[in-house]
Structure 1
Amino acid sequence: MTGWAVAAQAASSEQMPDRLRLGVVVAADETARERVEPFRLAMEDIVDLPVDLFLLDTLGDAIESLVEGKVDYVRLSPSAYAAAHRICGCVEPLVTAGPDDFPARFYAILVSKRGPQNTSLEDLKGTRLAVGNKHAVAAYRVPLANLAADGVNARSHFQTLVEVQNPVEGLKAILDGRVQAALAWSSLAGEAKNGFTAGTLNDYYVSGAKGFSDLEIVWRSPPIPYSAHAVAKSLPDALKRRLRAGLMDLRREAPAAYLAIEPDLPGGFEPVVHADYRPVLRTYEDEYAKVLARD
């Protein structure tokens, strides 16, 4: 018997379900059932219960299934978690995954051209801001909502919002003078001179394009978890504690099982709570609806 199963037997005698229903978003992956089987088996070991696998086509299906009680556990994006919470308040995050050994968080950022002195948001008042499309989480929704939470309404602060194809294009637009600032994202981990470990600045640095040293970060959002392994809040607390503890050990105890569910974020799990998603939760709150609305 593994350490997980021993812990399961020692857990609280709170009434447990007969089985756990695991939802996995598969999109068009025809090999998904086989691919995630190591994770399903590890979950059975962690919870000491049968785990049934439900394959879901989209994040929208995942949100619906969790909210309607058709699954007990599913991996969501931060925005999908916020949407699920907005619908019912019946979900709870357990862990998030990271891309490396740095803290598993990223940031929405506002970038401008470097001046003789550090540029401030006030310096950028009345200028042009490059943004992503209305669905872009890190290049539109999160920064606009969190700038508003900081007292800066982007629609009135900036002369105009200029939609660009992607965040890297926004940086190019700064350097060629089309805009004076742009929204982007960054891990803000590692070395700034290399554009950090991941994000728009890193993409631009790696591309070898000119002007990287002329860019500076003017504003950053609060940290945002990369993912949300979420469960129904109604699950017994003892089972949720067991799940979180087992998931925290998963990369070390069963690396193949970990990579089966987080192939793009191999850095391991960290614990999270609902408040960690506050920067994204704001994007679904009525208070910020006007600043997020597109003309």
Structure 2
Amino acid sequence: MPDRLRLGVIVAADDETRERVEPFRLALEEIADLPVDLFLMDTMADAVEAIAGGRIDYVRLSPSAYAAAYRLCDCVEPLVTAGPDDFPARFHAVLVARRGEDGSVALEDLKGTRVAVGGTQSVAGYRVPLANLAADGVNARSYFSTLVEVQDPLDGLRAVLDGRVQAALGWSTLAGEAKNGYTAGTLNEYYVSGAPGFKNLEIVWRSPPIPYSAHTLRKDLPDALKRRVRAGLMDMRREAPDAYLAIEPDLPGGFEPVVHADYRPVLITYDTAYSALLDPAAQ
């Protein structure tokens, strides 16, 4: 066992990060039965470099940041992810189109059409769908006539309904009621907005499920310690809700276990086979 556990936390614009995460640090000390030292990181990129470089042992990363860390070194593994509610803690990139006159539309119907996408760094609006469509045998740059960058996913849906494009990328939990646009995501935001045309929209493609976060440890830590930390995190929302919300204030649904393969939809965006497809210069 190590003498101490080094916890990295991203500050971003929160000047009170140290005080906010203290309940989590204390809970982690009890779970790990080790002193836990806190290291504050300015950005997600700093956290990726710190855990890949061995300067910290544990950090909460986004799915894409976990993939980036794994790309730097095969030295990290995820333990748990958090969710927004009691549904499975996963979301999907989705391709949404307008229903045809017969009431349905399929991906094959969109060949040669215009598709709205997000910026080139957007995970669900660009990188994940383009790479995973390619993995399904659909090269978006040749299959569709044009990829049209839009301001945000909601603008993409409006573009579908007013005819500027024939489909748009977004994201969805695909949990709950379809008639309400599911529990969260682009369709749900459009439904809640009350804008017209919601019933004319249909999902024609979805990515594999993607965890919301990645509580990541160094792979070289003892397996007994990793099992202990995972088990403690799984019980945290029930046994120490203040500690849980200190590290996951925006995802109050609790932790569930994950493994490396759960992040494959994001991991393949770093595969060299898809570099040309995702490269902005290829547009």
Instruction: Report the TM range for the smaller structure's normalisation.
Output: over 0.9
C-alpha separation between the residues in 2 aligned to 1:165 and 1:58? 24
C-alpha separation between the residues in 1 aligned to 2:13 and 2:202? 39
1:27 maps to: 12
C-alpha separation between the residues in 1 aligned to 2:257 and 2:231? 9
1:173 maps to: 159
Q: Is 1:147 paired with 2:154?
A: no
1:45 maps to: 30
What's the secondary structure of 2:21's corresponding residue? helix
1:287 maps to: 273
Pairing of 1:248-287 with structure 2 (within 5 A):
248-287=234-273
C-alpha separation between the residues in 1 aligned to 2:165 and 2:57? 46
Pairing of 1:48-67 with structure 2 (within 5 A):
48-67=33-52
1:185 maps to: 171
Q: Which moved more, 1:271-280 or 1:283-292?
A: 283-292
C-alpha separation between the residues in 1 aligned to 2:87 and 2:19? 30
1:93 to 48, 66, 78: 78
What's the secondary structure of 2:96's corresponding residue? strand
Opposite residue 92 of structure 1, the aligned amino acid is: E
Percent sequence identity over matched residues? 76
Q: Which moved more, 1:27-36 or 1:171-180?
A: 27-36
Opposite residue 169 of structure 1, the aligned amino acid is: D
1:83 to 65, 68, 76: 68
TM-score normalised by structure 2 residue count: 0.98
Shift of 1:289: 1.0
Aligned length: 280
2:53 maps to: 68
Q: Is 1:238 paired with 2:224?
A: yes
Which whole-Å deviations, capped at 9, do the CAs of 1:185-208 have from their partners, x for residues lacking one? 000011011110100000101111
Shift of 1:117: 4.3
Pairing of 1:192-207 with structure 2 (within 5 A):
192-207=178-193
1:156 maps to: 142
What's the secondary structure of 2:70's corresponding residue? helix
Structure 1 residue ranges, 4+ long, deviating more than 6 angstroms after superposition = none
C-alpha separation between the residues in 1 aligned to 2:225 and 2:205? 40
C-alpha separation between the residues in 2 aligned to 1:99 and 1:46? 23
1:11 maps to: none
Unaligned ranges ≥5, structure 1: 1-15
C-alpha separation between the residues in 1 aligned to 2:117 and 2:134? 15
Shift of 1:290: 1.5
C-alpha separation between the residues in 2 aligned to 1:71 and 1:274? 19
C-alpha separation between the residues in 1 aligned to 2:57 and 2:73? 14
Opposite residue 21 of structure 2, the aligned amino acid is: V
Report the RMSD for the aligned CA atoms in angstroms. Answer: 0.6
C-alpha separation between the residues in 1 aligned to 2:277 and 2:172? 23
Shift of 1:120: 1.4
Shift of 1:118: 2.6
Q: Is 1:111 paired with 2:127?
A: no
Unaligned ranges ≥5, structure 2: none
